[in-house]
Structure 1
Amino acid sequence: MKVQNLDKLEVDRKECQSYFKSRDVYKKVFHKMREKYASLGHFGGKIVLTKLTVEEKIQLGGFLQKDYTNNKTITISMTLLQKALEESKFSVFTWEEILEQYFGQPLLVKKEVEQSKAEQKQGFFQVIKNKYIGERGKQWFEKVIDDKNTALGYQLIQQQYKKDQEELETILKNFCYAIEHLPRFQHKVKRLPVFASQMTGNPHFFDESTMAGKLLLYFIQDYFDVDTEEIGESRPEKRNRLLYEAGILNDDLSNYVLTYGLHGIMQNGKLHEGIEGYYRLKEPLQLTLLTIQNLDKIWGNEIIYIVENPAVFSMLIESNKEISAICTNGQLRLSTMLLMDQLQEDSFFYYAGDFDPEGLLIAQNLKKRYKEKLYLWKYQKEYYDKAKSEVILSEQRLKKLQNICVDELEEIKEVLLKEKRAGYQENMVWEVEREKSKEE
């Protein structure tokens, strides 16, 4: 007898599920009911349905014994749903039983749902850690998963987890393999597309716009403890600098620096005939990042003059044929920094730039980097008076001077705050030349 009752109950359960699953409207109704249960911990309150088709309204009205065909918005109380169930042939079941059968899993209250999601997430990242993370990436990965306040990359990974876990696993799998094999660890330098292709099969895997490209910069900054607070540095240059820390060249041809009076030795020990040719002809030469990083050694005179403006650079080298000089062209490209890093072994720098907030920030960055190897040349009021232009500095630009903290720039900083006018090197070109000739 009991077996017969159980068999009938199973038949009724299948009929009940068939009824609700064959009517599309109940997918929407049951999702709303489940959300309400998760929020309250029991069935109660009301659910609101919108944008139902006519057929869905008829399906709903059939069970609830209501006509909803003219309703744009339908509000249903749990009291009405309970009454309709008790008056139906499915009254032997509760709504909880029906929904658990429908979704194939137990109903959970909000706290339980959150706990379950947290456990799933923890399990996901534990699998990533066990399967893909190597020794070099272990410490960074643990920080980026656990510390949402300070870890670089935390938000990026969490967003992708919510969006697509399968894609995130693929990205992290390739990313983790790549960071264990950065060119710097093999004392090599590779172009970014080549490195990406060798590691992942996709030359664009670490492009700037990709998640992997962003994570790579975060990892490099953390692992190599790179200072990214060089005020005034453009975003592309900061990216180039970070990548180079890991032995990766992002832009090795268009990243160049204008030079004069230098010599170079190639990695095979021979003199670089191209550079030497320009030296003999007394002509300026654009050195690309590719050329610089392929040199074993590069050198110039004991004093190397560095100016911001190409016009000033031209005047300097035309009237002083035996000098060594560099032109930054108003920005500190990676090529400039790499060149100066090599030249500082045997030379001392004289740097002169524009008298405006941006120019002072460049001067400060150079002074902080090269310290006693670099002299800030002509940063006194007497030279500002000669260079002063009619260009009025806006308050927004003047605010940048708050970041100036190098002692040698204090005098010019105060003058700019008082005068509120920029001073440019072109206005003192002849003075630069005459002073330069005296110092030679």
Structure 2
Amino acid sequence: MMSTKLDEALLYFKRRKGFEVLFLLFRKKYESLGRFGGSAELSSFTDGEIEEIAVFMGESPHHLMRKGKLLLSSFEHRLQQTRYAGITLYELLEAYWGKPLRSKKALKLEQEAARVERLETYKMLHPDLLPWFTYLESRTSDTHWIWRLLLEPDFADEMSMMALAFAGLPARMERYPLFSQRITGNPHALDLSEPRGKLWIHLLHVMADGQGPPPSKAEALNELLLKYNLLRDDIQNFVSQANLLAYDDECEHPVWRAAADEQCVMNMPMRELIKVNRVTAAAAAGAGHAPSVYVVENSGVFSALLDAVPDASLVCTHGQFKLAGLYLLDLLAKAGHTLFYSGDFDPEGLAMAVRFKERYGEQAQLWRMSIDDFHASSPVVELGDRESKLHSLLDSELGKVAQAVKETGRAGYQEGIVTLLIEDLRNRRMFNNV
């Protein structure tokens, strides 16, 4: 009997367009409050829709329009006065929309429970990724976007892909697109700009004992991938060096030796750097100390220094540190060399110097980067909007220099102190005793 009454009610209300609009407002009220309460605003209804609702409510359209709203409790009370008595508003709306009514709070709890259950399933299906799944359970800010994906229809396939890729990590160096092709059949399937690639990087970061957000800058990403023998770019990623020697175990590399003997500059791509495991300065050590190596980021300054001091052990990073530069400097630091770094007196150059010092600690020395050297560079280029980038450097080791640059409002560059750098190199024996 109730089923027949409900069918009749649906037939009545679905034939009248005004109730579709009204019932949508009722549903939104329930989703918001978790109960039927409040009122529905009628200002956006057409005259025809108002008339349909007014007929059901047993009042004039004019009177209903003047009120401007309809209480949900009034509608439910009127429903019990009609031939549809016994049908609740909840039952009516569920049948009308053909799906259960859920409050936002209830829906959120259901989804949360479903996500937890889904994660437990993945832990059983892919035990090799257990540390990553455990990290996801911590609900740190860097995991929120992954939690939102857990209920996506294709996320199970993504998890299978992550497990397959992790199990297939190479024992020896492999180029990243070729790895992606081998695992997925598509060299671009794990591109880092795509959601799957970002998921992959988060996994690798956590599995490498990383905490917090994974790296986002290119060179930090390259370093992370290199930990897993994955090489993104081994030709265009290069560093320039002069008067250095390289070894594969104890075997001296003949090309590096020939270049040092001829005092030739070599642009070393990652493709060649990964073939060696030790790098030293070509100059003989003195007084029991490994000779110092000098690092600049500007190619013009690099060439000018070599013009004046052709036998200096020099490295040029060509701007921001790339993986090749960091790889080479890591090998030099491992060999016991003190690394002297000179950069520009602008926000980017000072940030590079701070990063260099943080990475190499006591083996890193800042070279001609004092306040006096800044003024000696004859700064003339106005910072403009770039000045704000100095704020994060004020508490660093170069904080006083950053403050001087900020107060001046101008940037200084290595080219302005190149004669001082040349003078230091010509007297570099005093540096070799550091």
| Number of residue pairs the alignment of both structures matches | 415
Residue of 177, 200, 213 corresponding to 1:193: 177
TM-score with structure 2 setting the length: 0.77
Compute the displacement of 1:336 (Å). 0.4
Contact 1:160/1:168, CA 8 A, preserved across alignment: yes
In structure 1, stretches of 5+ residues that fail to align are 1-7
1:5 is matched with: none
2:348 is matched with: 358
Q: 1:216 to 1:110 in 2, by over 3 A?
A: closer
Compute the displacement of 1:181 (Å). 4.5
Equivalent residues in 2 for 1:12-411, closer than 5 Å: 12-20=5-13, 26-40=19-33, 42-48=35-41, 63=56, 75-78=69-72, 81-82=75-76, 85-86=79-80, 88-103=82-97, 107=101, 111-132=105-126, 134-135=127-128, 137-147=129-139, 150-154=140-144, 156-160=145-149, 165-183=152-170, 186=171, 188-226=172-210, 235-265=217-247, 271=253, 273=255, 275=256, 278-279=259-260, 281-301=262-282, 302-346=291-335, 347-380=337-370, 383-392=373-382, 395-405=387-397, 409=398
Percent identity among equivalent residues?
26
Compute the displacement of 1:47 (Å). 2.3
Letter in structure 2 aligned against 1:130: M
Compute the displacement of 1:226 (Å). 5.0
| Aligned-partner Cα distance in 1 for 2:174–2:49 | 61
Compute the displacement of 1:82 (Å). 3.5
Q: 1:296 to 1:24 in 2, by over 3 A?
A: farther
Q: Which moved more, 1:82-91 or 1:52-61?
A: 52-61
Residue by residue over 1:337-387, the C-alpha shift from the partner in whole angstroms, topping out at 9 and shown as x without a partner, is 011112233343232223344333322322222233333333455544532
1:3 is matched with: none
- Partner of 2:362, secondary structure, is helix
Compute the displacement of 1:34 (Å). 3.4
In structure 2, stretches of 5+ residues that fail to align are 283-290, 430-434
1:4 is matched with: none
Compute the displacement of 1:326 (Å). 0.8
Compute the displacement of 1:166 (Å). 1.0
| Aligned-partner Cα distance in 1 for 2:395–2:211 | 16
Compute the displacement of 1:400 (Å). 4.1
Q: 1:253 to 1:126 in 2, by over 3 A?
A: same
Residue by residue over 1:41-80, the C-alpha shift from the partner in whole angstroms, topping out at 9 and shown as x without a partner, is 55443224687789977876775578879x8x98443355
Q: 1:335 to 1:99 in 2, by over 3 A?
A: same
- Partner of 1:295, secondary structure, is coil
Compute the displacement of 1:175 (Å). 2.9
Contact 1:303/1:349, CA 8 A, preserved across alignment: yes
Q: 1:20 to 1:192 in 2, by over 3 A?
A: farther
Compute the displacement of 1:315 (Å). 1.6
| Aligned-partner Cα distance in 2 for 1:398–1:100 | 59
Q: 1:10 to 1:24 in 2, by over 3 A?
A: same
- Partner of 2:236, secondary structure, is coil
Letter in structure 1 aligned against 2:357: K
| Aligned-partner Cα distance in 2 for 1:334–1:100 | 59
| Aligned-partner Cα distance in 2 for 1:398–1:96 | 60
Contact 1:38/1:110, CA 8 A, preserved across alignment: yes
TM-score with structure 1 setting the length: 0.76
Alpha-carbon RMSD across the aligned residues, in angstroms, is 4.1
Compute the displacement of 1:317 (Å). 1.6
Residue by residue over 1:379-406, the C-alpha shift from the partner in whole angstroms, topping out at 9 and shown as x without a partner, is 455544532332355653543431422x
Q: 1:259 to 1:68 in 2, by over 3 A?
A: farther
Letter in structure 1 aligned against 2:131: Q
